[in-house]
Amino acid sequence: MIQDIKKDSAARMEKSVDNLRQELTKLRTGRAHTSLLDHIHVDYYGQSVPLSQVASVSVGDVRTLVVQPWEKNMVTVVDKAIRTSDLGLNPATAGMVIRVPLPPLTEERRREMGKIVRHEGENAKVAVRNIRRDAIADLKALLKEKAISEDEERRAQDDIQKLTDKFVEEIDKIVGVKEAELMEI
């Protein structure tokens, strides 16, 4: 029973960290990265589909993404989808290739994004701590039912705390790396 609680907690904490990583990939840094366009959807014959299903996205150079739609009639649709996205990008079309230059970030925008990164990190830490709280509540319930001894409960709580500390440390590292990436010029 205790092992199940620990495994469940570890799996849920890992999901919280993965979710943080996914959220941070959406933030634009100074470098071009294909995941920047992952959340953009385009109208493909009446259906909204992710950009990656109608075009290939690659990195041209440090500040340019290259999008190549697989069908000629999709070039204008993809161009429009990128323009109207919340990223503030201005793509340039040349035949079947759409180049998306990423403007350099201003100092003020970098600081703003740093705050967003720290906020996302704090949300992930809160999620991990909530998982710890749930696991400890489950342990207390087992103790109350006399399914485990007090010593077992105390050891399990210590293990869950160590697990929590490990994931909080990992979150701090991820946030630190992203902040450093943002401040690079």
Least confident interval from 6-20, 35-49, 152-166: 35-49
Looking at residue 85, its pLDDT comes to: 78
CATH code that applies to domain 34-101: 3.30.1360.40
Q: Is the model's pTM score more than 0.85?
A: no
Q: Where in the chain is the domain with CATH 1.10.132.20?
A: 2-26+106-183
Looking at residue 31, its pLDDT comes to: 67
- Return d(Cα 155, Cα 139) in angstroms, integer: 10
When pLDDT is cut at 50, 70 and 90, the band that residue 30 belongs to is: low
Q: Where in the chain is the domain with CATH 3.30.1360.40?
A: 34-101
- Return d(Cα 185, Cα 165) in angstroms, integer: 33
When pLDDT is cut at 50, 70 and 90, the band that residue 47 belongs to is: confident
Mean pLDDT of 173-178: 91
Q: Give the H or E element holding residue 182.
A: helix 150-183
Higher local confidence (pLDDT), 24 or 165: 165
Tens digits of residue pLDDT in 1-29: 888 989 999 999 999 999 988 888 767 66
Is it the case that residue 185 has pLDDT exceeding 70? Answer: no
Cβ neighbours around 75 below 10 Å, total: 19
Is it the case that residue 89 has pLDDT exceeding 90? Answer: no
The answer as to CATH 1.10.132.20 being correct for domain 2-26+106-183 is yes
Tens digits of residue pLDDT in 141-150: 988 998 888 8
Is it the case that residue 52 has pLDDT exceeding 80? Answer: yes
Polymer length of the chain = 185
Q: What mean pLDDT value characterizes the chain? A: 86
Q: Nearest to residue 62, comparing CAs of 24, 100, 91? A: 100
